[in-house]
Structures are given as structure tokens and as C-alpha cells.
Amino acid sequence: MREEVKEYIPLKSRIWLGGADCMIATLCNIMTGGGLTFFFVNYFGMDAGWSATCWLLFGIWNAINDPLFGYISDRTKSKLGRRIPYIRYGSIMIAGVFILSWVKFFSIGSDVQMFAQMLISLFFFDMLYTAIATSLYVMPYEMAVTNEARGKILFVKVIFGLVSVAVPLVLLAQLEKILEQSLFRYQMVMTVIGILAGVVIFFSTFFYKEKAKAAAEEQYPFVQSLITCFKNKNFLVFEIISFSVTYIQTALMIGLSYYFEAAGIGFVFCYIGMFVGIITGMAMWTKLGAKWGVKKSIVIMCMIFGTGLLVMLLLGQFEVAGVIGFFCAGIGFAGGMYEVQLMNGDVIDYDEHVSGLRREGMYAGVNSFICKPAISFANALFPIMLLWFGYDSNLAIAQQTDLAKFGVRFAWLFVPVLLLYICALCIGKWYKLTGKEWDEIKMQLAAKREQ
């Protein structure tokens, strides 16, 4: 057996990578998390139908955009590497696009003009976001091979990830108040955020580098590269959990306000339970996860997460059950940000072991192509399932029938519970990248990088 390879990634590299990842996610969460729609529909008065059409066209472009860029980035040849040029120079452009997205470029506010500006803003923002975010997403796999080293990178990313979720939630809740004060003040807030993000992302590229320089590798043609991803059986198993995590994160955000109103309980203790769950989860996955391995850790994570949500589904009208559910959701959130990304790295490493090529970009693009529809499914299924239980949209949530209030929990939690148990079963049965043989392959890949 080969001697174990020790990898060390400096703390400053981990912090700068986590900070850059945090800032690009913050921009995205503001733009696509309701900020741009609210700005054009609620403030400028654009018809909601035009907004829906804009998002539909954007969704089509989004599906094509991700695997195409992943393929391009894998074939990029530069002195800086394959990913860093997109992060460094894309940061300047995306900051500009983000700032200009909140400027009115028309004197007469017709729906067609507003639709055109919104669509153009989304098109250029997403093109740049895909280039930067995809490169940052795969950077831990470029910087290190061993899960121990990658885990330390991902731990910092999870901490910064909490900031990228909290800041947009607070800001989006204050949009109406800021705009009521003045449009200029709103634009200044967005300008500061855009400049800060651009600066952090740009300078971050001087503090980390790709360990595996694959610029000289001859990559597969696009179609062959795409087909080869789907021939990787472990990747297909990974997509089950990746799709599920995307759906669950979206679904849980959608139903939050409905749940507290329907159950008639406060959110404070539930949010505290979730925060404690995240801290517990990070301690669990970084300590015990290293002992259990990725496969066992994800199975355990799915069972804890799914069981906690099941308790809330059945007994969520009681605050204790809500706190238990949110605590388990915190553990699941930490596992999704940590163990699932380690699993993704292993899947890409296996592809390198078989093909001899590093194709992180293509895998990241295909993953986005498969998982992004989960966001639309979650948004569509929730209101449909509410109707099954007689939910009346003309009544306040607190005034709904008891059956409709249970329907809120069912529409919110049933599919996530089902998906988590399916994930535990599929990964436990079909995922093969585990054990001493796989550890030996990982060491061989790490030794190859060191050369």
C-alpha cells in the first residue's frame, strides 16, 4: 500500500475561498431570491405575467448555460489555471451588471421595456454567475484530493454559507421600506454590496491556486463528455441526493411563513433549534464523519433529517415537535453543505481514475442542469398540494380549516421526507466509492497531484 499523502491548505486560502463563495452566493440570492422581481413588479409596476415569461425564458437559458460553461472551463488553457481566470476577471463584470440591474434605463415604463431590461440583466448576470460560481464550487476539488483536506475547506465554506443566506433574507425583508424612503438610497445599498462582492472575489484569487494543472490535457468532445458523465454510475447515485437537497432547501424556504401561521407557534425557539442543529451537525460530520466515511455519513444524515421532518409533519402543531424538526433540519443543512460536497468530489475523482482527465467543470455543469428543475418543481408542487386539503387562498392562514392547516405541513414536508428516505436507501445500496480499495485509489491520485 502506498504511503499516505498529507495535504495542507493554508487557513488564509480557505478563508478567501469561503469569502468569495459567500459573496457570489449573496449576489445570486438577492437577484434570483425575489429582489429583481420585487423591484420590477412591485416598484416599477411591470405586469406579473411579463415577469413570469421572463423567468421562463431565463430558465431555458439556465439549463443550457451550465453544462456548456462546464465544458468550456475544462478546456481552458491559461497560466493562471482553468478556473481562476473566470473568477478573477468575471468578478469585475458581475459587480457592474449587479449594480446596473437596479438602474432604470427607460423614461416611459412600458411592460415591454421593463421586460427587456429585466431579461437582459438576468441573462448577463447568470452567464457571469455560472462562470464564477461553478469555478468556485469545484475549487476545493482542484486544491486538494484527500477528504481530510477538502473537509477543512468545506467547513469554512459552510460558515460563510450561513452569511450568504442570512444577509439576503434580512435585506429582502426590508426592500419595501428602503424603496419607500428613496430609490437612490436603495441603489446605493445595492452598489455597496456589488462593489464589496467584486473586490472580495477579485482579490481572493491571489490566495488560492489549482493544485492540478490540467491545461495540457486533451478533453473529450462535448457530446462524448456529456455522455461519459451519465455512464458514471456513482455520479447518477450522487444526483439522487443532489437533486433531493436542492428540492428540500427550496421547499423548506417556501413553507416557512405558512407553517408558523398555520401551527400558531412562534419561530424563535424553532430557529434556535436549527442554529444548534447546524453547530451539532458540523461537529458531527467533521469528527465522526471522518470515521464513518462519506457513504455512511450521508445515510445517517438522511435518516436524521427525514425522521425530524416526519415528526414535524405528524405533530408539528406542537412547538416541541417544531423545535425537534428544525434541530434535525440544521443537522441536515450542515450535512448537505459538507458531506454531499465531499461525495461530489469523490465522484469526480473516480472519473479521473477511469479516464485520466480532470473534468470538474463538466460535472458541475451537468449537476446544475439536473438539479435546477428541482427549484421549479418545489415552487409548483406546494400550491397544488395545498388545494388537495381545501386550502382557501381568500382566507388568512390562521383562518383555514384544521384539515387545510394539516395540508400546509403535508404540502411542505411530505415530499422532502420521502426523498430523504429514498436517498438513504439508494446510497446505502448502490454507492460504491467506499472502503480500503477506494482509499488506496484516492492516495494514488493525491500522489499524482504532488508530482
Span 1-206: which CATH code? 1.20.1250.20
Verdict on whether the full-model pTM lies above 0.85: no
**Region for residue 81 given its phi and psi (left: phi exceeds 0; alpha: psi -120 to 50; beta: otherwise):** left
CA dihedral (251, 256, 258, 262) positive or negative: positive
61: exposed, middle or buried (Cβ count in 10 Å: 0-12, 13-18, 19+)? middle
Please enumerate in sequence order all residues whose Cβ is within 8 A of that of 402, keeping only pairs 6 or more positions apart, or say none: none
Read off the pLDDT of residues 305-355 as tens digits, 9 standing for 90 and up: 999 999 999 999 999 999 999 999 999 988 888 888 889 889 988 988 888
Domain spans, the chain: 1-206, 219-451
Does domain 219-451 correspond to CATH entry 1.20.140.10? no
User: How far apart (Å, rounded) are the C-alpha atoms in residues 236 and 429?
Assistant: 13
Q: Supply the pLDDT for residue 451.
A: 62
Q: Which three cell numbers stand for residue 239?
A: 444526483
DSSP SS3 for 431:
coil
CA atoms within 13 A on the CB side of 440: 5
DSSP SS3 for 214:
coil
Transcribe 292-346 into DSSP letters: H-HHHHHHHHHHHHHHHHHHHHHHTTSHHHHHHHHHHHHHHHHHHHHHHHHHHHH
Q: Supply the pLDDT for residue 288.
A: 85
Same fold, 1-206 and 219-451: yes
Q: Which residues of the chain have pLDDT under 70?
A: 1-6, 33-34, 107-109, 169, 172-173, 175-176, 211-218, 449-451
Q: Which three cell numbers stand for residue 354?
A: 477511469
Q: Supply the pLDDT for residue 34.
A: 65
Q: Which three cell numbers stand for residue 353?
A: 481514475
